[in-house]
């Protein structure tokens, strides 16, 4: 079973409904490490060496976050800038080459908003293209993202349970 690193990127995780449920659903898995970036780096002083060690010690890297203004929360950009250094992630060495790079994103809007004819005019996958570009540049294996929709609205317990079960299945698939 592959070791999975979940880089949790949520600036207000304690008040989260969906992301908290997803993390709780997988937190007991022996092969999963949860790395809460906002908890760990309140001042955004990211320890590149510590983060690089986590990346090297795990087989699959997942970035889990709520979509904010059609992008990821700001600490993730800072994390990429600090951690994915020349001669580590690219340049002379590609130490993460062929490792799976996955994204789990929660979207406040409904799925029908994220299409050419919808309110947002683009798909979530299109909004995630900078992450695809990053994974491609450092020669990681970009996986199909896990997406939840409608998270800013009141969700039924059945919907939340379905999100949890789907996420468990997604993580187990990445573990194979």
In 10 A of CB 56, how many CB atoms?
A: 12
The model carries a pTM of 0.96
For residue 127, the model assigns a pLDDT of 96
Kindly list the distances between the CA atom of residue 80 and the CA atoms of 7, 84, 102, 126, in Å, as whole numbers in the listed order: 12, 5, 14, 19
Tens of each residue's pLDDT in the chain, 176 residues: 999 999 999 999 999 999 999 999 999 999 999 999 999 999 999 999 999 999 999 999 999 999 998 899 999 999 999 999 999 999 989 999 999 999 999 999 998 999 898 888 999 999 999 999 999 999 999 999 999 999 989 899 999 999 999 999 999 999 99
Residue 99, C-beta contacts closer than 8 angstroms, at least 6 positions apart: 55, 59, 60, 61, 140, 141
For residue 162, the model assigns a pLDDT of 98
For residues 11-27, b (16+ Cβ closer than 10 Å) or e, as one string? eebeebebbebbbebbe
Are the C-beta atoms of 80 and 101 separated by less than 8 Å? Answer: no
For residue 118, the model assigns a pLDDT of 83
For residue 120, the model assigns a pLDDT of 87
What is the number of domains present in the chain? 1
CATH label of the domain that carries residue 9:
3.40.50.360
Phi, psi of 113 (to 5 degrees): -75, -25
For residue 139, the model assigns a pLDDT of 99
Residue 115: which domain range?
4-175
């Amino acid at each position: 079973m592959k070791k999975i690193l979940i880089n949790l990127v949520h600036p207000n995780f304690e008040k989260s409904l969906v992301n908290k449920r997803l993390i709780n659903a997988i937190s007991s898995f022996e092969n999963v490490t949860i790395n809460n970036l906002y908890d760990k780096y309140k001042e955004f002083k990211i320890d590149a060496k510590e983060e690089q060690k986590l990346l090297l010690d795990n087989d699959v890297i997942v970035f889990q976050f709520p979509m904010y203004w059609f992008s990821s929360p700001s600490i993730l950009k800072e994390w990429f800038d600090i951690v994915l250094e020349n001669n580590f992630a690219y340049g002379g060495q590609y130490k993460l080459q062929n490792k799976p790079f996955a994204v789990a994103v929660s979207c406040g809007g409904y799925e029908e908003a994220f299409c050419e004819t919808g309110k947002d005019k683009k798909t979530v996958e299109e909004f995630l293209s900078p992450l695809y570009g990053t994974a491609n540049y450092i020669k990681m294996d970009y996986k199909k993202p896990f997406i939840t929709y409608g998270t800013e609205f009141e969700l039924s317990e059945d919907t939340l349970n379905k999100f949890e079960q789907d996420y468990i299945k997604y993580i187990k698939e990445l573990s194979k």
